[in-house]
């Protein structure tokens, strides 16, 4: 059983009845679900995932004022529940850096991940937030949301980056794909710098994956899961994932060139179709400059620096 399904069952059979019984007047003010850190929030968990922080668990998200008044007793109720469901549990809790379940104000959940209690508003706020944290805030599932405030923030985040932010990030990734894969890798190889060759290969794979997520307008998850998630994008994601796997099957750096150029060709073509731009050849640095010119914000358009 997957962790997200287990959590949903735990909510329906254990958590929901207890909170409706003990807090009937407050239940409609609460939201329940599972989102944030943990492979189970993406549906990617397996038996290896069960070694820590996996099991029957639910977040209970509250308004700030309700948490101030009743947060302690709400948590006490949650802690008193059996923590077992469908033959699983209780959890082996190890990662205490950021809460993975329990009672938490809506504002604190988003502040923990985004550094703000709302969806980014202006360009600076969008650039301040890490893409993987946007992915964490929009994964998982909301089982019940009485006030709807938690779901509204998730919906605002799900609209994706504003166009100028998306263009700047796309231009940056095109440029770095070209730098690592199409330009510097072969130079490192000719110099006999093996560590640099391997670094360039790894960084091309990272940047190509990141660019694919941008082109498909999906938030890229934590690095450990980005290549797994790449395949789930389908279409372009599947093709890029296959080429990156092929890149790591090649043993001779001379053979990297063919795979990198094929991957770059796919990425350049997709970028061109989305933005109605064309160019001769596959050099993604040229694509980057073309994308950069489409940015409307003058500061972003004139700033040629790389952004994550």
List, for residues 63-86, the tens digit of each pLDDT value. 999 999 999 999 999 999 999 999
Residue 104 pairs with which residues in a beta bridge? 61
**Predicted pLDDT of residue 251:** 85
**Predicted pLDDT of residue 211:** 98
Q: Is the pTM of this model over 0.75?
A: yes
CA distance 215 to 212: 5
State whether residue 196 is helix, strand or coil. Answer: helix
Quickly state the pLDDT bin for 39 (edges 50, 70, 90): very high
Report CA-CA distances (Å) from 132 to 152, 171, 308: 20, 19, 11
**Predicted pLDDT of residue 254:** 81
Residue with tokens 């997520």: 213
* Closest by CA position to 252, among listed 308, 201, 176, 183: 201
Q: Are 287 and 174 in contact (CB under 8 A)?
A: yes
CA distance 288 to 268: 9
> What's the chain's average pLDDT?
95
Q: Are 198 and 208 in contact (CB under 8 A)?
A: no
CA distance 266 to 282: 9
Quickly state the pLDDT bin for 192 (edges 50, 70, 90): very high
What is the total residue count of the chain?
A: 308
Residue 61 pairs with which residues in a beta bridge? 31, 104
Q: Are 101 and 58 in contact (CB under 8 A)?
A: yes
Quickly state the pLDDT bin for 282 (edges 50, 70, 90): very high
């Amino acid at each position: 059983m997957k962790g997200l399904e287990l959590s949903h069952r735990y909510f329906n059979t254990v958590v929901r009845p207890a909170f409706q019984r003990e807090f009937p007047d407050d239940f409609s003010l609460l939201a329940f679900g599972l989102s944030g850190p943990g492979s189970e929030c993406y549906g990617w968990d397996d038996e290896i995932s069960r070694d820590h922080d996996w099991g029957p668990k639910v977040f209970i998200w509250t308004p700030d004022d309700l948490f101030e008044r009743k947060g302690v007793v709400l948590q006490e109720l949650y802690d008193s529940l059996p923590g077992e469901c469908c033959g699983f549990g209780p959890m082996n809790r190890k990662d205490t850096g950021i809460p993975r379940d329990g009672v938490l104000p809506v504002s604190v959940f988003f502040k923990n991940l985004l550094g703000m209690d709302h969806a980014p508003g202006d360009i600076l706020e969008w650039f301040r937030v890490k893409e993987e944290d946007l992915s964490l805030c929009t994964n998982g599932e909301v089982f019940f949301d009485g006030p709807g405030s938690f779901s509204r923030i998730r919906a605002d985040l799900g609209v994706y980056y504003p166009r100028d932010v998306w263009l700047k990030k796309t231009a940056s990734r095109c440029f770095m794909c070209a730098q690592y894969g199409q330009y510097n890798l072969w130079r490192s190889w000719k110099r006999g710098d093996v560590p640099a060759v391997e670094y360039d290969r790894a960084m091309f794979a990272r940047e190509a994956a990141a660019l694919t997520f941008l082109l498909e307008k999906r938030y890229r998850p934590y690095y450990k899961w980005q290549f797994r998630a790449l395949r789930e994008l389908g279409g372009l994601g599947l093709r890029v994932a296959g080429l990156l796997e092929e890149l790591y099957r090649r043993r001779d750096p001379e053979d990297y060139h063919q795979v990198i150029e094929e991957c770059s060709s796919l990425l350049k073509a997709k970028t061109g179709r989305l933005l109605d731009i064309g160019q001769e050849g596959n050099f993604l640095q040229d694509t980057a400059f073309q994308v950069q010119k489409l940015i409307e914000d003058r500061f972003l358009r004139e700033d040629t620096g790389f952004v994550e």
